[in-house]
Chain A
């Protein structure tokens, strides 16, 4: 395949995402890059790297969607993270063509899907770096860069980065905002087992993924609060965290109030509505209903769901607000 043929395939991502052979594209790009490097053509080699990254991002996004559909949520998470990292590396080199390859769209939906996951804490290592080398020439990198290569720039079709050659472990911490999000903690399967158990509650993600057909179905979620009555929480433990999200005990917070605000999420799906049915009310799962509404300034119809519980806890069983419809 030529550069032009590959560009056309990657631009048609949305139409052909199920049939395109990404391994074939990857192999062709590797050949084109080798040829460019052999000729000393830095521009063509960099172009090959950019298209390789586009191919990787598109593959990761589709793969994330497929894993989520199969209920393999952690695999889906890792693919979203892979797409996010590749997008960060790619953006400075392909900013103007982002939309052509659906990368703006993927960037938006990677964030939207990520916010549905229940992961809130991540393990994180801290190290003392004693020796770093430039990945291009292997020169030692110190306080002042020891070589002419700039981190993140593309040389001979490869991105320059630092390789940590010698380090010392300083700490392992739990953090809310890690640089890499792969490091999700799971429960151990038990003594003598090397396996792990996924005890996270994926209610939000499952809700959305059950209602979208393709990775290009559009939806959005907004987080808000709603008034809840004390009667809805008659069976709620007084010693549990207050449903209002204050992180203090229910008994010491809202237990004595007749009404209080609880975290709440609304989700809208973009769906085309038949002309003769401007409004439609349907049931969608236990206790949750949706309806199609026209939003101001938007000619398309959105299915709006209310009452989707918002998860804020790490694992375990959470207490949810009740559907408000």
Chain B
């Protein structure tokens, strides 16, 4: 039976500021990259009984794709020191793309690139692919919203991109408005 796609949108407090201060980021080069990033790939902090940071096994391939195709305005980083990187390999036919934290202005571009990446994976595989994807959009005032998708890979582009563009558009505007209010005060 084909999986029914699920999209949830909720408030999120773990934004750039939270991830920058994690103890598994100690290397100076990584710290600098995370400080500059407007697209941050973040780990799971716990998985069953195992403590994090734990990344999805698809993260290296997603990262390689993003770094080779993204416009130079996107500054991509992964929130972990290289030697602390560990990944979960699950034996199901799942495309677990991981969790992204992005600025509102970068969100539509990231969503488009991820959709292209998924299409490439679909083209090289035999059906029944399920995608799990999570993205936190951070407004200019630092507030965050999290969109999660769990559903067929084929429906990702049509279902996620419009919702994410909508969320990002509203947050960008609201954030700019709130920033302006702060500066006027």
A-to-B contact residues, CB < 8 Å: 88, 111, 124-130, 142-145, 164, 167-168, 170-171, 173, 175, 177-180, 183
Contacts and interface: CB of A to CB of B under 8 A. Distances in A.
Q: Name the residue in B82, B85, B89 with the highest tally of chain A Cβ atoms < 10 Å from its Cβ.
A: B89
B50 interface: yes
B37 interface: no
B79 to A, nearest CB: 11
A129 B85 CA distance: 9
B92 A175 contact: yes
A125 B88 CA distance: 11
Contact of B87 (A124, A129, A178, A179): A129
Given A128-B47, A128-B50, A170-B47, A145 B60 contact: yes
A143 B88 contact: no
24 contacts: A88-B126, A124-B92, A126-B89, A128-B87, A129-B57, A129-B89, A142-B60, A142-B82, A142-B83, A143-B59, A144-B60, A144-B63, A144-B64, A145-B60, A168-B50, A170-B48, A170-B50, A171-B90, A173-B91, A175-B91, A175-B93, A177-B93, A177-B128, A180-B91
Contacts of B130: 177
B78 interface: yes
B5 to A, nearest CB: 16
A127 B93 contact: no
B86 interface: yes
B101 interface: no
A126 B90 contact: yes
Contacts, number: 71
Given A143-B60, A144-B60, A145-B60, A129 B86 contact: yes
B58 to A, nearest CB: 12
B139 interface: no
B interface, by DSSP: helix, strand, loop or mixed? mixed
A216 B92 CA distance: 32
A143 B85 contact: yes
Given A128-B87, A143-B60, 15 more contacts: A124-B91, A128-B47, A129-B86, A142-B85, A143-B55, A143-B63, A143-B80, A167-B89, A170-B90, A171-B48, A171-B90, A173-B92, A177-B92, A177-B93, A178-B91
Given A168-B50, A170-B47, A143 B89 contact: no
B54 interface: yes
Interface string B81-108: 0110111111111000000000000000
A127 B63 contact: no
A25 to B, nearest CB: 28
**Shortest beta-carbon contacts, A-B, top 10:** A124-B91, A177-B93, A175-B92, A126-B90, A143-B85, A177-B128, A129-B87, A125-B91, A127-B89, A142-B82
Interface of B: 47-48, 50, 54-55, 57, 59-60, 63-64, 78, 80, 82-83, 85-93, 126, 128, 130
A124, A130, A143, A173 — which one has the most chain B CB atoms within 10 A of its CB?
A143
A180 B91 CA distance: 8
Nearest to B129: A177
A179 B93 contact: yes
Contact of B82 (A125, A143, A164): A143
A163 to B, nearest CB: 13
Contacts of B82: 142-144
A111 B82 CA distance: 41
Contacts of B93: 175, 177-179
Contacts of A170: 47-48, 50, 88, 90
Contacts of B89: 126-129, 164, 167
A128 B55 CA distance: 9
A178 B91 CA distance: 6
B59 A179 contact: no
Given A175-B92, A177-B93, A178-B91, A128 B60 contact: no
Nearest to B91: A124
A126 B90 CA distance: 4
A226 B127 CA distance: 27
Contacts of A143: 55, 59-60, 63, 78, 80, 82, 85
Contacts of A125: 91
B72 to A, nearest CB: 18
Contacts of A173: 90-92
A311 B46 CA distance: 40
Contact of A130 (B47, B86, B91): B86
Contacts of B54: 128
A132 B54 CA distance: 15
